[in-house]
Amino acid sequence: MNRRIVRIRDCAEVLSGFSAKGAIIDEPGGTVQVITAQHLSRAEPYRYREEHKLRIRLSRVSEKYLLGFGDILFMSRGPKNYAVLLAEFPRPAIAPLTFFILKPKSNIIPAYLAWCLNQEPVKTQLNEIRTGAGTPMIPKQEIGEMTVPLPSMVMQKQIAALGDLQSRETSLLRDLIEQTELLQRLTGQTLLNRLAQNEKE
């Protein structure tokens, strides 16, 4: 197998998220979409839904903060770090400072890199470089020095396809749990209503 080990900064540019002044709230007439952790499902590609609408007004946004399709958001704060591939969302869009923005280079498939960043061997590397006690964080310089295997493009595509199937399975299982819980609530509500009606009769 044609494979080598490379640093993340050799296959992706690592940028910081946007530093907002104060709380981020949806603004009437806002033109820039903000993607936050609340919009994301871990290890699943991000696809925008209307309830994710969080637009702010910015007169000017530096090009380095603007998100593109195929970019990866990496949660850099807190004890649990994860990567999410950006698949579908309205542009222009930005992400807050809690994320690093990884812009993959031509030598790596974005979906493969996102998959790598969520695997246990990489998480072990993250545990070694995480700093801070109150709010742990991953230093930007150190994440660029972390390593991932870089197989051939063919192998990357195969692994990315596997990762996509895994994320779809996770999504389907989550939807099944949500629908099951809804059915259980409706069943309970119906039974109690019937019992109350019988009591009146």
Global pTM reads 0.82
pLDDT in tens, 28-72: 889 899 999 999 987 789 999 999 999 998 878 888 889 999 999
List 85's β-bridge partners, or say none. Answer: 72
Pairing of strands 147-150, 32-34: unpaired
Structural domain including 87 reads: 4-200
Report the CATH number at residue 116.
3.90.220.20
Q: Is the pLDDT at 199 greater than 80, yes or no? A: no
- From residue 146, how far is each of 42, 114, 143 by CA, in Å? 20, 14, 5
Least confident of 78-92, 112-126, 186-200: 186-200
**pLDDT for the residue 1:** 47
Q: Please give the helix or strand (H or E) that residue 70 lies within, else none.
A: none
117: nearest Cα among 160, 170, 165: 160
Dist CA 73 CA 95 (whole Å): 8
Greatest pairwise CA separation for the chain in angstroms: 77
Q: Is the pLDDT at 133 greater than 90, yes or no? A: no
What's the structural domain count of the chain?
Answer: 1
**pLDDT for the residue 3:** 65
Q: Is the pLDDT at 137 greater than 50, yes or no? A: yes
